[in-house]
Structure 1
């Protein structure tokens, strides 16, 4: 009798110990372990879109900070980021390296619409998360066709509609000239603008595309001015945006000027173009502006300020791209924490698509992160802003620009 009891107790202890060990060890896919979470990334550290390189630098620094603070649930993040020069073929090459050689758990914040679309089918065929893609394309919200790819920022179509709402109200009879990047970014913004203008879409007098590899867009700007446009809408990345602002200044042309949120950076766009040339430009945002005095004592901005001082000393804190890199990294780390000890790719996607009214330190008040298994658009709200005296000034209410699936 005593022998049987001891055996049962020993068996129970063994089962308990095994269960505890399994819980402590966690459940993992390739790229995760008891001590490490391996994350991949592609970013244009060189090439025509190298202004975005600060995003990858901030992400690396943010994860370094998290690791110094103990990591994510006791695990350190290994962040492997490769330069793709904003070239889709290079993105394919580097992403395959991340997946097949580095064996990452997921690819986070791959930057750029065309580069990220170039690897979307590959990532989904491998069932590897392409998580929080740094692109405004609504194509990264296709939860049915590509369930392993999810975007992050408000999409371009929505942004185009927000601009259209402003123009319908503020410039109902103006002739509109559009300069747009000849890729998914520019085309989707233009599509959203036309959709939002509706019966006023005939106000678009001219829409001229350009290739991102073109050294200058001066001739396109001149053509738009010659078409008699009262409104100049620029749907491009920072280099071309700065060139257009400067050229308009040289022409002494004074159109109502709108630029996409991807080119709202004071440091990489407005200053190179000339602050006096940038006066009055309208854009849209969902994040707090480092230069805006109203956030001086804001807890989220103080945390960002301290982070930049310690981990990227000497960097331009006013660069909106730095703010973006911090914000998207904060969101991703929160998702990793929600994964607990189940660091499988399926659970990572489950957690990323189960966010409810999540607040981030640098989001504007009233704007929160929301996702679901059928809603792959984490951020859907924007506010308009105008550049004045070297700073962006918010105006109007928070606009919910949800695109229904």
Structure 2
């Protein structure tokens, strides 16, 4: 009897191994948590409320784009399960939502979460967990650090490179300028400020006044008054849309008319310019890497036609004057491209490998000549921009597309 029991035990063990092997072969590919034969779970954190809520349309656009992809059959036969939470632009809440996405929802990755302070709050956690923090919606230079943070990657041009472009323009066109700076008192604002100072170099003394604000302040009017009082005739405005609109209105009200440079993250017509008033905003200079769908020159452009068709079907209530809708459309395409390149190897390591292997990738919605390039040592996908000036009710680009690599 003992021998029979042993043979039955061996038979049972062999059957278990056989079933496990059959199950493994039945799967299409290799997976980490968050991916299966039928689904890819993508996490996202957006400020659907709070001082940066104007950016929330990015998350809504991304959700609509993934719905489009799913309707067309998904990615290599897998449907995207896009889970997006609100953090109110509050870093402690971002930490809470990131933990929920990783540990409870068990997403494969977190994609395009918005803001420098929020992403800074979860960067170490994401890298410790070895979960991709991919294409973060912030231009802080710190996201391009593959050596220390191999699981974090940016997408848009860096803040420092953008303000270096402004600095070069100011030095050439306003050599005797007295510069006043408004910046948000956090990593986002300080990163932009560093780029400006680096760009000015030995002429950094041209900055006659720096004013920082907190996102909890109801208004930044007093800061604008202080900049005017300092005698500034060039205004470098490094603020998010809510405060950028306030700055433009206040400058008009106190009849301060400096040459005005506005950071690109607040260049939205609907979120910043329209609330500030078109009359108050004429001549403001900013930078861009995206096509403006409201610019007549793109009326017959295939990219913008495809964008409009996408919105008609999947996000009809979208404000088509909002540049953030184009942004969401473009970055969502990049995410889909990376997942397609992963094929049937949907491990977190392979997601990062594919994200770091893009060469001259062209995304619908980017300006002509702007291409995405990454490598194992370069986690800055986009490094080209073009200056633009507000004229009438739209932006008018001028000059060449500039390679804006920091130090370049």
TM-score over 0.5 for the alignment? yes
CA separation of 1:19 and 1:155: change in aligned 2, threshold 3 A: farther
After superposition, give the CA deviation of every residue in 1:311-335 in whole Å (9 maximum; x if it has no partner).
1213211201111011000111011
**Structure 1 residue runs without a partner (length 5+):** 1-14
Matched, 1:256 2:259: yes
Structure 2 residue aligned with 1:4: none
Contact persistence 1:23–1:341 (CA under 8 A)? no
Structure-2 separation of matches of 1:19 and 1:142: 42
Counterparts of 1:22 and 1:60, CA distance in 2: 33
**Map of 1:62 onto structure 2:** 65
Greater alpha carbon shift after TM alignment, 52-61 vs 308-317: 308-317
Give the Cα–Cα distance (whole angstroms) in 2 for the partners of residues 116 and 194 of structure 1: 24
Residue-by-residue CA offset, 1:171-230 (whole Å, 9 max, x unaligned): 111100000000111101111001001122111000110001111000000000010100
Could you tell me which residue of structure 2 aligns to residue 284 of structure 1? 287
Which residue of the partner structure matches residue 81 of structure 2? 78
Q: In 1, distance between residues paired with 2:192 and 2:22?
A: 52
- The alignment's TM-score, normalised by the length of structure 2, stands at 0.93
Q: d(CA) in 2 for partners of 1:329 and 1:34?
A: 21
Q: Which residue of 1 aligns with 2:359?
A: 356
Name 1:36's counterpart in structure 2: 39
Q: Deviations over 1:125-166 (max 9, x none)?
A: 010000000010011111100000000000111111011011
Q: Aligned-pair RMSD on alpha carbons?
A: 1.5
TM-score by length of 1: 0.94
1:190 aligns with 2:159: no
Aligned partners of 2:206, 2:240: CA distance in 1, in Å? Answer: 24
Counterpart CA distance in 1 for 2:205 and 2:368 is 36
Residues 158 and 401 in structure 1, CA contact (< 8 A), matched pair in contact too: yes
**Between Structure 1 and Structure 2, how many residues are aligned?**
389
List, as ranges, runs of 4+ consecutive aligned residues in structure 1 with deviation greater than 6 Å. 18-21
Equivalent residue for 1:267, pick from 267, 270, 294: 270
- Give, in whole Å, the separation in 2 of the partners of 1:192 and 1:142: 17
Deviations 1:19-60 (A, max 9, x none): 997486111000000000000000000001100110100010
- The match for 1:176 among 171, 174, 179 is 179
Matched, 1:138 2:149: no
Separation of aligned partners in 2, 1:239 and 1:47? 10
**For the residues of structure 2 that align with 1:22 and 1:151, how far apart are their CA atoms?**
36
CA distance in 1: counterparts of 2:251 and 2:317, whole angstroms: 31
Tell me, which stretches of 5 or more residues in structure 2 are unaligned?
Answer: 1-17
- State whether residues 176 and 204 of structure 1, in contact with CA within 8 Å, keep that contact through their aligned partners in structure 2: yes
